[in-house]
Amino acid sequence: MELEVLAGFEEASLQKIKDVRQLVVKVESLMERFWEKGIGFEEFARRLMESEFHGTGRLFQLVPPNHGLSLLWILLGASKEKILNLNPVLKGLPPNEIAKKVTKIKKDLEAIDILGTSWAVIGELKEELYKRSEIFVPGTGFLLSLNSALGVLAVDYQDIREDIKKCSRYLERIGENGKASIEEINELDSLIKRLNVYQYSQKDIKNYPSRKILSSKDKALRYKFLDNLLLSGRKLVFETVLDPSNIYLNFRQIKDRYPRLLSHLLGVKEQHLLDRIVESFRMFQYMLIKDIKSFYNPEVLERRLQQEFGVGGSSEIGATEEEILLLSEELEGLSDREELLRGILLALVGLVKSSEEQFLQTVGFLTPEFCQALSNDFRDKALKIFEGAKVILGYTQGTHSLFQVEELRGLGTIFLASFIAAFIVSQACESKLISHDYLAKFLYPLLPIPPYQRPDPKDSKGYAFGRLFRLKGLMYVEPGDVEKYLRKAQPRYIMTMKGLRDVGLPNFERELYEGSRVYRAFFGLPEQFRAEILKFLERAVVKGFTKVSNFLTYENQFKLLGLLAIASTKIDSQWCIANLGSVCGSIDITYECINKELLNFSYDRILSGDLPSIFSLELFEDGPEIVLEFNPDIEISNVSKEFAQATDIQELKTKYTKILHRASEYYITIDRIEKILQKPYTDRLKAIIQEKLNIISRELAEIKDFSTLEKYKKKTIDSMLNRGVFVKEVIPDVDEVFERKANELRQAKIMEIRNELARIKDQDRLMEYWEETKAYLKTNKSILGQDYLLLVARLFDSTSAKLLNLAQKNNGSKFSS
């Protein structure tokens, strides 16, 4: 009745007052339950004051305040970010849809048991969120998305039941029609991504804040259902989008209208790679439908002409229409056509991606979840096409020998599919590979079709020397051309005799000049040394030499090849892989050291099998592979592992300083080395400090008051600062140790107060104890905090009210008597 009067007899005002009372009761319950145990409320209150909220005003007007508190309890516990954005929850919804969504939100919030959900439980949710960046609050439709760079936690709400129904309907409808629009594919992909997040949220988080907990059996059934649904969805997206006859049309629409879908499907963010993949698909589609005139992009050809011949160049460039038609007919004639065509498409994606360093270690045709939807047989076939295309392109660039190409021929249609993939990807790049002369010299001879002749493997030494030119990036000049040039033949005459039509004279002259330097340097080597290099180049796969050679003198380039050639004789195999990847990775900061070391290393020592001290060799028979390592790189790697063995800060610092000093002897700049060492050094530094914090924690157990605690804290931090071991990343950890002890002292004091208040029987003693407690609170108020002081005061007020009630009852009894 009193509440009705306070509300002025208005129903809406009465409901608001009731809501506020419920909120106050819940806050007090949280304080009582979690403050005294030191597991949340004080941290919650601090985070609440520090955080910036967006969208809460609109949403929290539509749900009861205690429900809003439940949501904030979860969000602030699961995130370290200062900005919480809840605008996505109701964004863009008409009023009738908002009402429906709010009803579902209320049901989920009602089911959250925050009194049974400490921040220790929420910590598991926090861990998964920061590991994955996107996660559902288990048992609810709340989707949390993390943007650590901006310091924002975005909150959305999804009706998962409806998403599952939608996904099932899409699969059923598309399955019946046998086709789907790009809009449907985009929507289906969005549903799959969301359900995938929901699935791992339910699977990986064991502690639910919601009371809606499924039995183990129901969980297993739901996971299996979702697994099948997601697999079917991904398979359908893959089969629909990767349709060979419409591949370019599909991906052009996706690129223009749904760029995020394009990036998600291909697992690529870089725009230039996406453009190159789509261009490869365009060429594939026009080759497939025999639209020969549209195979090349006219703008690309114009740019290539200008690169070779300057503005106004009138020569033709690239493959002829007859040659493209010939390849189109070969493509049409592939058996197992559909699977091979899709395999070529996946190989194109892999080939474009593998041109960038971050994709070198993995064959990521598509994003991992879409790759899972491919059958093992199909994935293996696509991988063979991809690897075959790499061999063919490697042959044209000198990294692979004719020996590997001959092995590839035995794979039949896989060889042809690999060839077409290599051809398309070479023409999709705006480089000198768009050239009829390049194609006629390198690619076409590999095909068993007229009028091109296969390379003659009989002249192995001549072939190996020519391969050396290609390893140096010389595509149009051969050793015979250089011999003519050295005998004073004019470059234009040599070009005319070779019948080159789409290479500009300046570029050809540049290659001739570079070829003459390689030629002279090579024939300046001892005869036996030259023979070993040529023998090695006949069959070996050489990785990384082209980049490394650009930083070395000509003599040292050949000495490096000689080291690999002599090492290859230790492997009992017809061929081997020589891998310079490790040296390649740091050559831009190590070339001075390598040049100096190789310059002073004689040919005789190399031929005898000796190795410069800066290098080490590993031989792998199962490859077979030779891996040449730059020793300081290994040393840095080993020392970074030794950091883990350091038990003292000074020891760790000494190791760090020593390796940087040593690195300066080998590297032109040590900035990159410092970055490599930074993580293991900082990790071990933190670990050592954590060990110190554990010692501090044990010593803190003896402290019983705040004054001693503050003195000990100041002394400890000053000591760490003076020793130079206090890094900013560790400050929160140190503060946390002392804050944990402060919480223990707060809890101990409040328990002491509760126990004493329970023993007090009269107001005089209560006031006397209040004065004692007040003095303590005044002394330590900066540490205790205002909320704590209010809590203590309420305990005294509550006790006072109980004593007054008891006194009134006793007086009433006496009066009755």
Q: Which residue has the higher pLDDT, 689 or 105?
A: 105
Q: Please state, in angstroms and rounded to a whole number, the distance separating the CA atoms of residues 286 and 296.
A: 9
Q: What is the pLDDT of residue 120?
A: 64
What three-state secondary structure class fits 134?
strand
What three-state secondary structure class fits 541?
strand
CA of 715: how far to CAs of 11, 626, 648, 711, 720, in Å? 60, 57, 20, 6, 9
Q: What is the pLDDT of residue 127?
A: 83
Q: Please state, in angstroms and rounded to a whole number, the distance separating the CA atoms of residues 308 and 301.
A: 11
Residues 6+ apart with CB under 8 A from 254: 182, 185, 186, 241, 261, 262, 265
Per-residue confidence band for 533, with pLDDT thresholds at 50, 70 and 90: very high
Q: Please state, in angstroms and rounded to a whole number, the distance separating the CA atoms of residues 240 and 234.
A: 10
1-34 residue pLDDT tens? 444 444 454 565 545 544 545 544 445 554 554 4
Q: What is the pLDDT of residue 364?
A: 56
What three-state secondary structure class fits 620?
strand
Q: What is the pLDDT of residue 421?
A: 92
614-652 residue pLDDT tens? 888 888 877 788 898 887 766 676 766 777 777 777 778
Per-residue confidence band for 348, with pLDDT thresholds at 50, 70 and 90: very high
CA of 136: how far to CAs of 78, 151, 195, in Å? 11, 19, 10
Average pLDDT over residues 419-427: 90
CA of 79: how far to CAs of 30, 59, 158, 207, in Å? 19, 19, 19, 17
Q: Cis peptide before 457, with omega less than 30 degrees from 0?
A: no
The candidate with the shortest Cα–Cα distance to 14, out of 25, 28, 26, 2, is 2
| CA angle, 285 then 286 then 291, to 5° | 150
End-to-end CA distance of the chain: 34
Q: What is the pLDDT of residue 595?
A: 92
564-573 residue pLDDT tens? 999 998 888 8
- The answer to whether residues 17 and 2 touch, using CB atoms and an 8 Å cutoff, is no
Q: Please state, in angstroms and rounded to a whole number, the distance separating the CA atoms of residues 509 and 512.
A: 5
Neighbours of 736 (CB within 10 A): 11
Average pLDDT over residues 448-458: 52
At residue 552, does pLDDT exceed 90? yes
Q: Which residue has the higher pLDDT, 727 or 600?
A: 600
The length of the chain is 817
Average pLDDT over residues 104-130: 78
Both structure tokens of 278: 């789509």
Label residue 736 left, alpha or beta by phi (over 0 means left) and psi (-120 to 50 means alpha): alpha
Q: Please state, in angstroms and rounded to a whole number, the distance separating the CA atoms of residues 576 and 573.
A: 7
At residue 793, does pLDDT exceed 80? yes
At residue 447, does pLDDT exceed 80? no
Per-residue confidence band for 786, with pLDDT thresholds at 50, 70 and 90: confident
Which residues pair with residue 112 across a beta bridge? 210
Residues 6+ apart with CB under 8 A from 598: 552, 555, 556, 559, 560, 612
Q: Please state, in angstroms and rounded to a whole number, the distance separating the CA atoms of residues 59 and 54.
A: 10
Average pLDDT, the chain: 80
Both structure tokens of 211: 């009371």
User: Among 375-389, 405-419, 739-753, which stretch is predicted with the lowest mean pLDDT?
Assistant: 739-753
At residue 213, does pLDDT exceed 50? no
Both structure tokens of 721: 């600062």
Most trustworthy range by pLDDT among 106-110, 608-612, 694-698: 608-612
Q: What is the pLDDT of residue 451?
A: 46
The candidate with the shortest Cα–Cα distance to 431, out of 355, 499, 344, 365, is 355
Residues 6+ apart with CB under 8 A from 644: 680, 684
Both structure tokens of 21: 């009372």
Q: What is the pLDDT of residue 659?
A: 79
Q: What is the pLDDT of residue 3?
A: 41
Q: What residue spans of 372-459 are helical by DSSP H? A: 376-397, 402-409, 413-428, 436-438
Residues 6+ apart with CB under 8 A from 277: 251, 266, 268, 348, 349, 352, 353
At residue 210, does pLDDT exceed 60? no
Q: What is the pLDDT of residue 1?
A: 41
Q: What is the pLDDT of residue 2?
A: 45
Q: What is the pLDDT of residue 566?
A: 92
Average pLDDT over residues 539-545: 89
Q: What is the pLDDT of residue 173?
A: 84
- The answer to whether residues 251 and 278 touch, using CB atoms and an 8 Å cutoff, is yes
Both structure tokens of 268: 């690529």
- The answer to whether residues 388 and 408 touch, using CB atoms and an 8 Å cutoff, is yes
Q: Please state, in angstroms and rounded to a whole number, the distance separating the CA atoms of residues 310 and 292.
A: 26
Whether this model's pTM surpasses 0.85 = no
- % of the chain residues with pLDDT over 90: 14
Most trustworthy range by pLDDT among 52-66, 294-308, 529-543, 674-688: 529-543
Q: Which residue has the higher pLDDT, 578 or 462?
A: 578
Q: Please state, in angstroms and rounded to a whole number, the distance separating the CA atoms of residues 210 and 78.
A: 15
Q: What is the pLDDT of residue 318?
A: 80
Phi, psi values for residue 65, rounded to 5°: -55, -35
Average pLDDT over residues 141-158: 89
Residue for token pair 């190399």: 606
Burial class from Cβ neighbours inside 10 Å (0-12, 13-18, 19+) for residue 712 reads middle
